[in-house]
Structure formats: C-alpha cells, structure tokens
Amino acid sequence: MPRIKYITHDGKEYDVEAAPGVSLMEAATSHNVPGIDGDCGGALACGTCHVYIAPSWAAKAGAPAGEAEGEMLRLLDNYQENSRLCCQIPVSAALDGLVVNLPRGQH
Ligand code: FES
C-alpha cells in the first residue's frame, strides 16, 4: 500500500499505509494523525483537513485545487500557494512516498 508521511507543524512525523481509493483525510483520521479532523466528512465544508503539498508532488496530488476547494482554502488561516484540502486528494500508487505538511494551528 502507498506510504504517506504526515508532518505536524511542530515536526512530529506520522507514517501511514493508506489504502488506494481513500482520501488523504480518511487515511489520516483512520490512523489518528493529530491535526487532521475531517469534521465534515469530505464535503468541502469545514477546512479541518488543510495541508500543504510540496510543489514537486502537486501534479500527482491533482493540483490545482478545484474551484470550490480553492474558495474554501482562501478562507482559512495559514493559507499558502501549496495549500490543499486533503479530503479532495485520493490515495493512489502514484502518491507512495508523499510527504504532507500540516499548517500551524492544527493539532
Ligand atoms: S474534511 Fe471538511 S473540508 Fe475536507
């Protein structure tokens, strides 16, 4: 299964084996990664799955964000160019080795 590394804003690392087809949000919440809550279940309504994706991974993670995702992202604290809502990113073999960074303030 693809391995995903989540890194909190204070540098704690969580390695997760994620099933293809689930979202990066679901992979994180099912492995108790702190800082990704996924309160709305992936409905683009909460922003509690905000992450940063390195530019080198952006295309594989389906960048750019869709219009609705982009609108939600721009409302969030700590929004950056490489911000994504990870409920909108499906895990696939192409994401094996992906590193996901969490914004300050999510823990
Ligand atoms: S889980 Fe709510 S916006 Fe992603």
The tens place of each residue's pLDDT in the chain, 107 residues long, gives 999 999 999 999 999 999 999 999 999 999 999 999 999 999 999 999 999 999 999 999 998 999 999 999 999 999 999 999 999 999 999 999 999 999 998 87
* Amino acid 71: pLDDT: 96
Which residue's structure tokens are 């696939």? 92
Pocket test for ligand 1, best of 37, 39, 76, 100 (most atoms within 8 A of CB): 39
Q: Give the C-alpha separation, 58 to 49, whole Å.
A: 16
* Amino acid 67: pLDDT: 96
Å from CA of 96 to ligand 1 middle = 22
* CB distance 46 to ligand 1 below 6 Å: yes
Burial of 99 (0-12, 13-18, 19+ CB in 10 A): middle
* Amino acid 13: pLDDT: 98
Pocket test for ligand 1, best of 24, 36, 40 (most atoms within 8 A of CB): 40
* Amino acid 60: pLDDT: 95
- Delimit the domains of the chain by residue range: 3-101
* CB distance 87 to ligand 1 below 6 Å: yes
**According to CATH, what is the number of the domain 3-101?**
3.10.20.30
pTM exceeding 0.85: yes
* Amino acid 43: pLDDT: 97
